[in-house]
Amino acid sequence: MPSALLAAVLAFQVPQPPSAGAIEWQAPAGCPDRRALADAIVGRLGREPTADELSLVGRVQREGPSQYHLNLRLTVDGHAETRSLSARRCAALVDAAALLTALALDRAAAERSAAAGPVAPEAEPTPVEPQPPAPEPASEPGLAPATPAAPAADAVFDPDAPLPAPLPEPPPEPAAVTLPGPLAPAPPPRKRGPGALLRLSAGLEVGAVPAPTAGLELAAGVLWRRARLEFHAVHLVPQTEARPPNEVRVYLLGGGARGCARLFRGRFEFPLCGGAELGGLRGEGRGPGARAATGLWAAVFASAGATWRFHRLLGLSLAAQGLVRLASPSFDLQDEPEPVNLFASAPASLRLLLGLELRLGDPR
């Protein structure tokens, strides 16, 4: 009775999974664990691999909401191979890993069997006793006698002949695994066209009119990646030059164009510009015999500045311009015996401007 109980207990023992040193498996939550992989290998192979013949390291990573990637390293009989697989289901990667492991172990076992050579059987051949001939049936009248068949040759069993190789078992169906294909080349980046610029500035001007005065400037332009082209209009607030009993009130209206190089550092841009300006310098006399007159104003200038881009579309700019006068009128009082000069612009002037800049489609 105890022997029967011991046999029943041994019969219902569950097979142990592969050794912890043989299989190392890491997978995210929700994926089959190491035990599930070990059971899948036993199901594919038909036996439990030992730690001496198999070493498996597998790491599964999630790639997006419905994609998993497996990095698998198999070492069988000292030969290591690495595989990289992707699938929509984590269970498919476990099945693929079990299939690859079983194929690698079966291939290694077949190579060892081929190297060992065929084994001759030890069983002795069994002699075949001759059977007595069966009695011939009586011939019926009108029928030709049957011709006796030729005796069959005795089957000869050669004990030294190698046994025929067993038929290979059909391989199990492989798991559906999606291998990463070559990525399509990225389309070339589209070339962006030029952007647009609009700026309103106010500041201080010294030299063009009788006293330091305020100025307003409105500019519009075209932006490229490393250059800009601007057109501007400017107005200088009137200032008065007095020579009692006469005086003259002078102001400027003009416009111009400039080209700039664009230099950058972080959110800051440093435009370096050069251009020209044309306009009318108007003087309005007050006193005996006074009248109003407008003369040509022409100048070339260079400027340097900085623009802080505090928004995708907006920037705060500060610029300093130095102007060299090419032409400007002189306002004189016609008097006897000699004319009296009331005002003439300085040969050079300085302009400081602070502005708000709007950019549309800046290709920077």
pLDDT at 35 over 60: yes
Residue 193 or residue 229, greater confidence:
229
pLDDT at 148 over 90: no
Q: Report the distance separating Cα 64 and Cα 187, nearest Å.
A: 23
Q: Report the distance separating Cα 22 and Cα 52, nearest Å.
A: 8
pLDDT at 160 over 70: no
Q: Report the distance separating Cα 253 and Cα 38, nearest Å.
A: 90
What average pLDDT does the segment 173-200 reach?
71
Q: Report the distance separating Cα 213 and Cα 206, nearest Å.
A: 7
DSSP notation for 299-311: EEEEEEEEEE--S
Q: Tell me if 16-113 shares its fold with 195-360.
A: no
- For the stretch 324-357, pLDDT in tens is 999 999 988 776 567 778 899 999 999 999 999 9
Pick the CATH number of 195-360 from 3.40.50.2300, 2.40.160.20, 2.70.170.10, 3.60.15.10: 2.40.160.20
- Select from 364, 11, 359 the least CA-distant residue to 198: 359
Residue 73 neighbours by CB under 8 Å, 6+ apart: 56, 57, 58, 80, 81, 82, 83
Q: Report the distance separating Cα 98 and Cα 77, nearest Å.
A: 17
pLDDT at 280 over 90: yes
8 A C-beta contact, residue 271 and residue 307: yes
Tell me phi and psi for residue 65, to 5 degrees: -70, -25
CATH number of 16-113: 3.30.160.100
Domain definitions of the chain by residue range: 16-113, 195-360
Q: Report the distance separating Cα 248 and Cα 229, nearest Å.
A: 36
pLDDT value at position 113? 47
